[in-house]
């Protein structure tokens, strides 16, 4: 039991933030909403509830004090394995899945992310990766990442030797990473996009293109097909910056369909996620063998393309009908003139 003594009024969540500074604010609010706190023997589920001097505060110590610093293996997070050997696992990551927990103070995983990320699934099926990597408490075995809503090929190291071998290749830009993306606009041919990227000053979760004070960002692209007002593009990443493909294509005026961060609302609302897919990864394995791993064309890409084709066909039919009507009308006019 805690006895609150203070001349001022304090919100309940602020009170617990002072006593559990290692906990994220979101976790404290979540614990209060679960009904683990009482004020004057009454359960309070509102984080913004105001406590007064003299109030008696109690909390479920089992729930509040249990260990929240270790990723929990979770077999419910299914892993689609493309290839594996004694050194690596190559997977097809689905869209909507975060790769690893967020990092908080003390290089610890965010308590809310302990069992719902890709690494929770990996630890359930491949426990040998638990001590692999440069920060295994947060990202065991993870050599590179894909954004939450980007799907496709990812490689995970099973042992430290494989991790260092792969990490060195990514660092030296020896790994060939290719993506597919549906963008808004009729892009033509092929080209290179080269500029500098830095974190946005107004929104730390976004990146922005800057004049020079940033990290070099380079990619190559070629247009595979154009349907209606959209283009399917193959992209090869030369560098691997956060959100690179998304921010660079948005910058040149061809935002990725479904991208909630970088595309205008009219474009972001056209798909349930950004239509960006890692379809090919070329790498040298620890055995010395050069290998290419690929992922098939995603179902939501196919559905989007089919809908575009259907709409384009309908538009063409409407144009033909309109032209035919106009032709008949003109013929009738000429006939009357005779």
Q: Which value, in Å, is the radius of gyration of the alpha carbons in the chain?
A: 27
The pLDDT tens digits for 163-197 are 999 999 999 999 999 999 999 999 999 999 999 99
pLDDT at residue 2 is higher than 70: no
The pLDDT tens digits for 272-289 are 999 999 999 999 999 999
Q: Where are the beta strands (DSSP E) in the chain?
A: 2-3, 10-11, 37-39, 42-43, 50-51, 56-59, 81-84, 88-93, 103-104, 108-109, 151-157, 176-184, 190-199, 207-210, 215-227, 230-237, 276-284, 290-294
**This prediction's pTM:** 0.78
What is the phi/psi pair of residue 64, to 5°? -80, -30
Residue of 147, 149, 259, 300 marked catalytic? 147
pLDDT at 220 (0 to 100) = 98
Give the sign of the dihedral formed by CA 33, CA 34, CA 39, CA 42.
Answer: positive
Other CB atoms within a 10 A radius of the CB of residue 302 amount to: 11
Question: What residues have CB less than 8 Å from 217, skipping those under 6 apart?
Answer: 193, 194, 195, 196, 197, 239, 241, 244, 248
The pLDDT tens digits for 231-288 are 999 999 999 999 999 999 999 999 999 999 999 999 999 999 999 999 999 999 999 9
pLDDT at 245 (0 to 100) = 98
Count helices and strands in the chain by DSSP H and E runs: 8, 18
Measure the CA–CA gap between 66 and 328, rounded to whole angstroms.
80
- Domains of the chain as residue ranges with CATH: 2-65 (3.10.290.10), 69-172 (3.30.2350.10), 173-313 (3.30.2350.10)
Other CB atoms within a 10 A radius of the CB of residue 310 amount to: 11
Q: Are the C-beta atoms of 213 and 313 separated by less than 8 Å?
A: no
- Which is more confidently placed, 108 or 31? 31
175: nearest Cα among 133, 143, 210: 143
What is the phi/psi pair of residue 17, to 5°? -60, -35
Q: What is the DSSP letter of 111?
A: G
Q: Is 80 a catalytic residue?
A: no
Q: How many residues does the chain have?
A: 338
pLDDT at residue 321 is higher than 50: no
The pLDDT tens digits for 100-152 are 999 887 778 888 888 899 999 999 999 999 999 999 999 999 999 999 999 99
């Amino acid at each position: 039991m805690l006895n609150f003594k203070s001349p001022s009024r304090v919100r309940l969540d602020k009170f617990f933030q002072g006593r559990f500074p290692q906990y994220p604010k979101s976790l404290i609010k979540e614990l209060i909403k679960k009904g683990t706190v009482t004020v004057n023997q009454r359960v309070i589920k509102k984080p913004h509830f105001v406590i007064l001097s003299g109030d008696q505060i109690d909390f479920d110590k089992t729930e509040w004090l249990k260990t929240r610093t270790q990723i929990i293996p979770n077999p419910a997070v299914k892993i689609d394995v493309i290839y594996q050997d004694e050194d690596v696992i190559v997977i097809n990551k689905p869209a909507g899945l975060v790769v690893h927990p967020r990092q908080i103070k003390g290089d610890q995983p965010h308590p809310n992310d302990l069992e719902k990320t890709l690494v929770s699934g990996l630890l359930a099926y491949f426990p040998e990766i638990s001590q692999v990597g440069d920060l295994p408490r947060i990202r065991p075995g993870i050599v590179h990442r894909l954004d939450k809503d980007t799907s496709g090929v990812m490689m995970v190291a099973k042992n430290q030797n494989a991790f260092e071998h792969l990490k060195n290749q990514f660092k030296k830009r020896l790994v060939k990473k290719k993506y597919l993306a549906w963008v808004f606009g009729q892009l033509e041919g092929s080209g290179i996009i080269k500029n500098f990227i830095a974190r946005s000053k107004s929104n730390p979760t976004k990146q922005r293109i800057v004049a020079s004070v940033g990290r070099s960002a380079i990619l190559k692209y070629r247009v595979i097909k154009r349907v209606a007002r959209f283009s399917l593009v193959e992209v090869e990443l030369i560098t691997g910056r956060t959100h690179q493909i998304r921010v660079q294509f948005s910058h040149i005026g061809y935002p990725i369909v479904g991208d909630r961060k970088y595309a205008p609302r009219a474009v972001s609302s056209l798909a349930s996620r950004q239509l960006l897919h890692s379809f090919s990864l070329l790498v040298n394995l620890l055995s010395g063998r050069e290998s290419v791993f690929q992922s098939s064309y995603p179902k939501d890409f196919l559905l989007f393309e089919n809908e575009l084709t259907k709409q384009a066909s309908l538009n063409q039919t409407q144009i033909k009908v309109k032209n035919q009507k106009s032709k008949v009308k003109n013929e009738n006019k000429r006939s009357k003139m005779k």
